């Protein structure tokens, strides 16, 4: 049998001096400048920017790169070494954090990176990892592509940064940001961790992204809110671009494939071309879900090791990374490992068919990852995991064409959504058309599935990951549509598979680069045309079908013209068109980032006062953060997102009191507790509207603020060890008798803070 697995070496060809006249570091000044300007313009303290940059360089990148080189060798260039090294550094910092949290020695965390680096200074055999013995630098085009992609991410983040001002300020924070900020504070304490909004309950959640921010805060002394709302995301996104670029070049063997894969990982979008709706699964990046971003560099490093195993290359000491790395992925996002397991199963099938000599190592890899997934379910998964059920196509409700037509009255019942179950023949054809449209718009992520025609188990692995991710999104149901994370979490690696297809089929770079440029430019032009000329569609199936078909009809003549121009090089036509699809993916992201930033700069809309957390409320919470003991418990009358005068039911996702005070609460907001999520749909109510757990405790909490009875206050102190009361008159009447039962320590606007003796 002919061996077709002649995987290209990952070594770069030597770059001649005339091709690298531009210093390699020069392109990276662009994203650095864009990022610093964006951070300073949105209120980030300059000193914090410098401190976090130093932390990343000295505590994450330096030790991680040294350890990765010791375990897996160098890539021959600094950027890819920093990519893999940075992901390794994240894992090392998690290990340091876990040791500190288990022993209560968080004060020693700043010494942890030093302990890792010292052996590389004193041990002669390890000193060689400080340098690259045989440099194989990447061309300047690689640096420019990645640098521009990272700069686009900084521009993309500006609207979110402007919408989430740093405290204290009058602000409307998306509720999940408050939830994660509370977890960052919680993970600065010692194990066992508790639910900060419900003191005493053990925390089960994929919280390792919050642990990473907690570690950075403990070492740098930067306010956790500044890390979460500003500094952390661009750093993890840049690291994702680097490590995914290294993975793409490892698979495809071409520098431009690595650059394109890294750029698509963070700056990729489905095809838009002026359509009024974006296909489900738009971007792997989410400002509102740190866990979704944090998994990406960890998964990329794990897949890189898996590629070596599947291709029969010696892994050596890198085996020691597999289980802890996979466990870190499980603790970063509970949806990260199931697609990887599915991908490894597909790869194992390819191994059985064509490369049986590698079966033992492949099964070992699969066993380690599967063991990590099962361990992660035990350690990190709470009530939310139990409500994930098999219900095909429920994710369609998040797709505007369906939600505004057939799905306008959809509820969670039946095997399929009611809009589909009761649809006419025309309605079913409309649903089928939407699914075909989705696949067409996701062509940049799905085209690589054709790579399974070759016998490389790595291709089967990435194809299995892609199919499993898409299947999780379309076949499962979650009350908050979290099944979508199965797909968004695999987007960078689905794109890498398509880039690999492009690199394998292309015979030269000219049609590839021409197609990329043409697709990028056309995406910008078509999006602007759609913005200028076409109004939003009416909520009818006919109107939506025409609105979605129009960009395709607009693009078809352009594609036909390109094919005519390339008619003398017919073999270049499919390569150029596939490259154009990938270029349009980046162009769509660039347009969305630029348009979003422009709109945010001139947007003067003010959220409803019922949603706003006032500057006085934030300042009062920060006052308590500075004065309360680390393990002090507070009680508050803030439980619901909306003010009582506006809310028909209590949406128990306020979260901001615990987030800003940094302290556990007896009962704050319970919307994300295991009890509430497990009770989803009880009495026909979504989990966020379920009543508070522990009714007696909650009733005592409410009586204290409503009546101020000294006996209730005393019980709060002696039985539940509450030390502080955070009373906010905007969220309910506060009894004047409370001042006689507890000592008033601080007032700010509607907030009065009491201390219990």
Contacts (Cβ under 8 Å, ≥6 apart) of 424: none
Task: Check pLDDT > 50 for residue 666.
Answer: yes
pTM of the model: 0.94
Task: Give the whole-angstrom CA distance, residue 80 versus residue 592.
Answer: 28
Task: Give the whole-angstrom CA distance, residue 245 versus residue 260.
Answer: 7
Task: Give the whole-angstrom CA distance, residue 711 versus residue 699.
Answer: 14
Q: What is the pLDDT of residue 554?
A: 86
- Predicted confidence band at 681 (pLDDT cuts at 50, 70, 90)? confident
Tell me the CB-side half-sphere exposure of residue 101, using CA atoms within 13 A.
22
- Under DSSP, the state recorded for 164 is S
Task: Check pLDDT > 60 for residue 54.
Answer: yes
| C-alpha distances in Å from residue 638, one per residue of 235, 341, 541, 613, 749 | 34, 42, 43, 11, 15
Characterize 303-325 residue by residue with b for buried, 16 or more Cβ atoms within 10 angstroms of its Cβ, and e for exposed. Answer: bbbbbbbbbbeebeebeebbebb
Give residue-wise pLDDT tens across range 529-572.
Answer: 888 888 889 999 999 999 999 998 888 888 787 777 666 666 67
Helix-strand-coil split of the chain, %, nearest 5: 65, 5, 30
Characterize 488-519 residue by residue with b for buried, 16 or more Cβ atoms within 10 angstroms of its Cβ, and e for exposed. Answer: bbbbbbbbbbbbbbbbbebeeeebbbbbbebb
Q: What is the pLDDT of residue 508?
A: 83
Q: pLDDT averaged over the chain?
A: 92
Which range of 7-11, 405-409, 621-625 scores highest in mean pLDDT? It is 621-625
Host H or E run for residue 88: helix 78-103
Give residue-wise pLDDT tens across range 210-254.
Answer: 999 999 999 999 999 999 999 999 999 999 999 999 999 999 999
Mean pLDDT in residue range 284-290: 95
| 63 cis-preceded (ω within 30 degrees of 0) | no
| C-alpha distances in Å from residue 430, one per residue of 279, 404, 540 | 15, 13, 11
Q: What is the pLDDT of residue 507?
A: 83
Tell me the CB-side half-sphere exposure of residue 678, using CA atoms within 13 A.
9
Q: What is the pLDDT of residue 1?
A: 27
| C-alpha distances in Å from residue 155, one per residue of 33, 118, 544, 593, 678 | 11, 38, 30, 6, 39
Give residue-wise pLDDT tens across range 104-140.
Answer: 999 999 999 999 999 999 999 999 999 998 999 999 9
Mean pLDDT in residue range 46-61: 97
Task: Give the whole-angstrom CA distance, residue 44 versus residue 49.
Answer: 7
User: Cα 261 to chain center, whole Å?
Assistant: 17
Domain boundaries, the chain: 25-131+139-164+212-268, 615-755
**Angle at the Cα of 496 from the Cα atoms of 495 and 497, rounded to 5 degrees:** 90
């Amino acid at each position: 049998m002919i061996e077709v697995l002649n995987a290209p070496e990952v070594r770069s060809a030597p770059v001649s001096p005339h091709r690298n006249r531009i210093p390699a570091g020069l392109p990276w000044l662009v994203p650095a400048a864009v990022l610093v300007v964006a951070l300073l313009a949105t209120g980030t303290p300059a000193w914090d920017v410098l401190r976090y940059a130093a932390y990343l360089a000295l505590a994450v990148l330096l030790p991680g790169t040294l350890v990765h080189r010791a375990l897996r060798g160098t890539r021959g260039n600094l950027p890819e070494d920093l990519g893999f090294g940075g992901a390794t550094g994240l894992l090392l910092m998690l290990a340091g954090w876990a040791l500190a949290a288990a022993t209560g020695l968080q004060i020693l965390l700043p010494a942890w990176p030093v302990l890792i680096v010292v052996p590389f200074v004193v041990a002669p055999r390890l000193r060689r990892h400080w340098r690259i013995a045989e440099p194989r630098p990447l061309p300047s085009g690689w640096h420019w592509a990645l640098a521009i992609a990272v700069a686009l991410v900084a521009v993309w983040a500006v609207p979110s940064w402007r919408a989430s001002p740093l405290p204290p300020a009058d602000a409307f924070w998306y509720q999940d940001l408050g939830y994660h900020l509370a977890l960052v504070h919680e993970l600065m304490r010692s194990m066992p961790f508790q639910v900060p909004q419900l003191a005493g309950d053990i925390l089960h959640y994929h919280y390792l992204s919050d642990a990473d921010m907690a570690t950075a805060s403990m070492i740098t002394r930067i306010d956790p809110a500044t890390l979460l709302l500003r500094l952390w995301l661009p750093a993890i996104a840049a690291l994702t671009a680097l490590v995914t670029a290294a993975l793409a070049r490892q698979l495809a063997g071409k520098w431009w494939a690595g650059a394109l894969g890294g750029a698509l990982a963070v700056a990729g979008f489905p095809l838009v071309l002026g359509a009024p709706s974006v296909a489900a699964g738009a971007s792997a990046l989410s400002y509102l879900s740190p866990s979704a971003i944090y998994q990406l560099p960890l998964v990329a490093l794990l897949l890189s090791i898996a590629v070596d195993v599947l291709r029969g290359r010696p892994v050596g000491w890198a085996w020691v990374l597999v289980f802890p790395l996979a466990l870190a992925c499980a603790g970063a996002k509970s949806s990260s490992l199931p697609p990887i397991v599915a991908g490894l199963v597909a790869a194992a099938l390819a191994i059985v068919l064509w490369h049986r000599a590698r079966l033992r190592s492949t099964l070992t890899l699969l066993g380690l990852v599967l063991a990590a997934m099962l361990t992660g379910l035990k350690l990190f998964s709470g009530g939310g995991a139990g409500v994930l059920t098999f219900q095909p196509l429920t994710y369609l409700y998040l797709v505007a064409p369906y939600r505004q037509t057939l799905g306008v009255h959809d509820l969670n019942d039946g095997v399929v959504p009611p809009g589909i179950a009761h649809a006419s023949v025309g309605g079913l054809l409309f649903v089928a058309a939407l699914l075909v449209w989705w696949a067409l718009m996701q062509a940049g992520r799905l085209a690589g599935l054709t790579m399974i025609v070759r016998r490389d188990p790595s291709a089967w692995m990435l194809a299995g990951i892609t199919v499993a991710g898409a299947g999780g999104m379309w076949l499962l149901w979650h009350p908050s549509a979290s099944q979508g994370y199965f797909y968004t979490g695999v987007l960078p690696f689905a794109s890498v598979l398509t880039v690999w297809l492009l690199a394998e089929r292309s015979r030269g770079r000219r049609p590839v680069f021409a197609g990329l440029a043409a697709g990028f430019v056309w995406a910008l032009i078509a999006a602007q045309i759609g913005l200028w000329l076409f109004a939003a569609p009416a909520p009818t199936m006919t109107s939506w079908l025409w609105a979605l078909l129009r960009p395709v009809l607009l693009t078809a003549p352009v594609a036909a013209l390109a094919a005519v121009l390339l008619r003398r090089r017919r073999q270049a036509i499919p390569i150029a068109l596939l490259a154009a699809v990938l270029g349009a993916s980046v162009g769509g992201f660039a347009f969305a980032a630029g348009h979003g930033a422009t709109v945010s700069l001139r947007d003067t809309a003010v959220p409803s006062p019922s949603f706003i957390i006032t500057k006085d409320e934030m300042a009062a919470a920060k006052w308590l953060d500075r004065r309360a003991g680390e393990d002090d418990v507070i009680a508050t009358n803030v439980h619901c997102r909306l003010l009582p005068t506006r809310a028909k039911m209590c949406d128990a996702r306020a979260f901001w009191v615990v987030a800003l005070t940094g302290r556990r609460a007896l009962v704050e907001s319970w919307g994300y507790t295991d009890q509430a999520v497990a009770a989803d749909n009880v009495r026909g109510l979504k989990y966020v509207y379920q009543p508070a757990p522990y009714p007696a405790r909650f009733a005592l909490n409410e009586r204290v603020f409503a009546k101020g009875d000294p006996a209730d206050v005393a019980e709060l102190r002696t039985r539940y060890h509450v030390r502080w009361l955070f009373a906010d008159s905007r969220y309910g009447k506060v009894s004047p008798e409370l001042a006689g039962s507890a000592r008033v320590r601080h007032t700010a606007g509607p907030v009065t803070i009491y201390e219990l003796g």
